[in-house]
Amino acid sequence: QVQLVESGGGSVQAGGSLRLSCVASGLTYTAYHNSCMGWFRQAPGKEREGVASTYLYDGNRYYADSVKDRFTILQDNPKRTVVLQMNNLKSEDTAIYYCALRRSSDGHCTPLEPAYYGDWGQGTQVTVSS
């Protein structure tokens, strides 16, 4: 049974930084490395949107335009951990952040849309005050 557990959310002022972590368990070595890990967020009253993704086999990354040059997705495969480093946070980054897994043997992690990702964490709240 796949389990994803996020941590690291909190409250910060605009311009600050937060680091989110997602630890995966319940996957074989092959299954893990043939997967994409994505970060998504959902603000109140809005649809869930993709933020960043990485292909766990080779670290090929994708970022949404709204977070490019501010967020970085990092991975530590031996620890089955994917980190979302968020810098220069803005009030519009306030949301619940989720990590999610997508099985992919061909390295395609996009489109970064919730429907393509089958396993989800419980979410962690990020609040940015201006």
Cα(41)–Cα(124) distance, rounded to whole angstroms?
9
Q: Are the CB atoms for 22 and 31 separated by under 8 Å? A: no
How does pLDDT run across 46-57, given as a tens digit for each residue?
Answer: 999 999 999 999
Q: With bands split at pLDDT 50, 70 and 90, how would you rate the model's confidence at 29? A: very high
Element (H, E) at 75: strand 71-76
Q: Read off the pLDDT of residues 78-121 as tens digits, 9 standing for 90 and up.
A: 999 999 999 999 999 999 999 999 999 888 998 999 999 999 99
Q: Alpha-carbon distance 48 to 114, whole Å?
A: 7
Average pLDDT, the chain: 97
Give the pLDDT confidence of 68-79 residue by residue, as tens digits. Answer: 999 999 999 999
